[in-house]
Amino acid sequence: MLELRGVTAGYGQFTALWGVSLRVSAGEAVAVVGPNGAGKTTLMRVISGLVSPREGDLTFEGQSLARLPAHEIVAHGIAHVPEGRRIFPMLTVADNLKMGAFLRSARRGYRDSLERVYTLFPALAERQKQRAGSLSGGEQQMLAIGRALMSRPKIILLDEPSMGLAPVMVLRLFDLIRRVREEGYTILVVEQNVRQILKLVDRAYLLEVGRIKMEGRADELSEQDFVRKAYVGL
Amino acid sequence: MARLTAAAVLAIIAAAPFLPMGGMRQYALHVLVQIFIWSFIGGAWSLMGRFGLISLGHGAFLGAGAYTTTLLWNFWGLTPWLGVLVAVAGAVVIGLVLGYPCFRFRVVGHYFALVTLAVGEVVRLLVIAERDWTGGSLGVTLKASAGEASLAAIQFADKRVFYYASVVVWLGGLWVWRRVDRSMARSALEAIGEDETAAASVGIHVTRFKLAITVLSAALTAVGGVLYAQYFTYVNPDTLSGIGVSLRIVFAVVLGGMYSLLGPTVGSALTIALSEYLRVLFGLKFIGMAETIYGLVLILCIIFLPAGIYGSLRAAIARRMARRRAAPA
């Protein structure tokens, strides 16, 4: 469904990704793991159109995405949950979700999507009229994911969903991501929390200093000595 | 209830020129016309300001509007009815030239304000530099049309004509404000104002929305400039472009409240009334005193009433109503 071939990208003089190739098939959950500064966030920004690739090819359902601006990428059915829970803090929870269905194609199914999000995240339904900025970190992350679902995406990009959350919340959040997954969404997630995320996804890529170092099935990867030592902490 | 109040206020506004005012009629009308014109301009400014697009250079659009119609009339005798179209087109072009690079390259917040500040000054300096046809810093007087009143030239000796014209334009401004307030664009712009990355991630075309509101605000401000020029029949770079007038617009709107429909009107009315009062009170004594007091009042209001006078008042009334409703009848 989503395919990157030899993507090189960066900011100004600095190159953050060197010839990265990866693939996500429909219905799959795929993780990109790696240490800080590996280029994970840049990778997400390339796919969602916030950074355009310098070289390489990027296709979604056979159509090229390279050089499309961010708002058009959303229209193709790719929802991005940016790093650091970029919700609209002064708007209410309900209005944040409403903004998620900003596109005309999403507006049509607004009520239906809203109900799905509230069923998935009952905590959000309870806080509909509260300002998003007053939610806890975990709830804000749920809201960010819920908002992405409102655009009726075919694939969801999650950028470091566990960042800045208390360990208990991380477990709950991963549980929620599992439920999103069971709803049939295709997911591409970038994480530092390797051990947890490998339990959740089908396949994973290991990204280091801008290059894919390893790839494979999640259960196989977590058995690799090198991954275990470096990231799992066993 | 709100409808009734609005109808009553409109009736008073419509009847105002015929109310007995002693010998003060001409002066009172003059002040009122100014209030309506500046309220309209303030409203145009707040279209951008309320979404965090703080412009400190609206004088650029104001001056472009006022000078365009004045010069077209003086040199080629083009009626201001057509001149206003050229004026709006000119302001739109300035808005695009200012907005597109800023929005494309994400010049936001203070940096955007600084860019607009410069644009306002550029227009003022251009007017001064091109003195052969703009009259430079001395300004230029609108050529008088033949006779007492001319519809084609939009010149009328009777202040009441301008009074009603400014009321109509002001109402038009309120109508536009409300249209924007109730549109999808408002949600999009609010989202952009809070977080551009997040807004783009839900599919909002950030640059396009910001440009659209900038162009709208610039066009309306130019119309305000045209009205000002037709009423005063004299334009001058310091009163219509540059930092001074740009900040004056901002102060009035911030004072009244930029997030509410009538905030800019209340703010403009108060600042104009206050500066008129201080001017009459001090006259030629204590030069600078009027400006000092004016500045102090503004600072106090901005510190203690961040939502503006009208905005704060409305919030207080809403709270009280909610409490009354909550209490058992």
CATH architecture of the domain with range A1-77+200-234: 3-Layer(aba) Sandwich (3.40)
Domain ranges of chain B: 26-242
pLDDT of residue A233: 53
- Torsional class of B154: left (φ above 0), alpha (ψ -120 to 50), beta (otherwise): left
**Residue B245: which residues within 8 A CB-CB, separation 6 or more?**
B58, B59, B62, B238, B239
pLDDT of residue A230: 62
**A230 in Cβ contact with A34 (< 8 Å):** no
**B208 in Cβ contact with B188 (< 8 Å):** no
Contact residues, A window 48-67, toward B, CB-based 8 Å cutoff: 48-50
pLDDT at A229 over 70: no
**Residue B103: which residues within 8 A CB-CB, separation 6 or more?**
B206, B207, B210, B211, B214
Residue ranges of chain B with per-residue pLDDT less than 70: 327-329
Please judge whether A71 and B206 are an interchain contact, meaning their C-beta atoms are less than 8 angstroms apart: yes
Residues forming beta bridges with residue A159, ordered by sequence position = A190
Q: Could you tell me the pLDDT band of residue A227, with boundaries at 50, 70 and 90?
A: low
pLDDT of residue A78: 92
Q: Is A45 on the interface with B (CB under 8 A)?
A: no
pLDDT at A19 over 60: yes
pLDDT of residue B329: 46
Contact residues, A window 153-172, toward B, CB-based 8 Å cutoff: none
CA proximity to B10, closest of B167, B181, B159: B167
pLDDT of residue B197: 85
d(CA B256, CA B312): 9
| Residues in B touching A155 (Cβ below 8 Å) | none
CA angle in degrees (0–180, nearest 5) for A71-A95-A190: 50
A39-90: pLDDT as tens digits: 888 999 899 888 889 999 999 998 898 888 888 898 899 998 988 878 999 8
| Residues in A touching B205 (Cβ below 8 Å) | 69, 71
Please judge whether B201 and A98 are an interchain contact, meaning their C-beta atoms are less than 8 angstroms apart: no
Average pLDDT of every residue of chain A: 88
Cα B9 → chain centroid: 21
The closest CB to that of A74, out of B187, B191, B202, belongs to: B202
| Residues in A touching B307 (Cβ below 8 Å) | none
pLDDT of residue B118: 94
A190-215: pLDDT as tens digits: 988 888 888 889 999 999 889 998 88
Contact residues, A window 102-141, toward B, CB-based 8 Å cutoff: 102-103, 106
Calculate mean pLDDT across residues A9-20: 90
ipTM rounded to 2 decimals: 0.79
